[in-house]
Amino acid sequence: MPRKPRMCLPGVPCHIIQRDNNRDATFFSEQDYQFYLECLSDAVHKNHVEVHAYVFMTNHVHLLMTPLNKDSISLVMQSLERRYIQ
């Protein structure tokens, strides 16, 4: 079942949690964390989102972000997931 759409208003901070399937590990090495951070940085610059804080756990990620446009966070997450998963 797909998740419900995020309700994100421009200029209002959002707490985003991203988990792997079945809560499996997302990161296996230091390079995985670095690559995810690089993907996140590229995505937020391209889609006009401010990142205030992030926490990378072995099986999930917490992000505190403020979108500057209505669909910015959705675009960031789509870009991030497509690029990191490969």
Residues comprising the chain, all counted: 86
Q: Which two tokens stand for residue 49?
A: 């989102």
pLDDT, residue 41, reads: 94
pLDDT, residue 9, reads: 84
Mean pLDDT by 10 residues, the chain (86 residues): 72 88 84 92 94 92 92 89 80
pLDDT, residue 6, reads: 65
User: What is the domain count for the chain?
Assistant: 1
- Specify if 2 maps to a domain: no
- Specify if 64 maps to a domain: yes
Cα gap 73→16, rounded to integer Å: 9
Question: What's 34's domain CATH number?
Answer: 3.30.70.1290
Backbone angles phi, psi at 59, to 5 degrees: -120, 5
Give the full edge-to-edge strand order of the sheet including 14-19. Answer: 14-19, 60-67, 49-56
Domain range enclosing 57? 14-85
Q: What is the pTM of this model?
A: 0.82
Q: Which two tokens stand for residue 39?
A: 């993907």
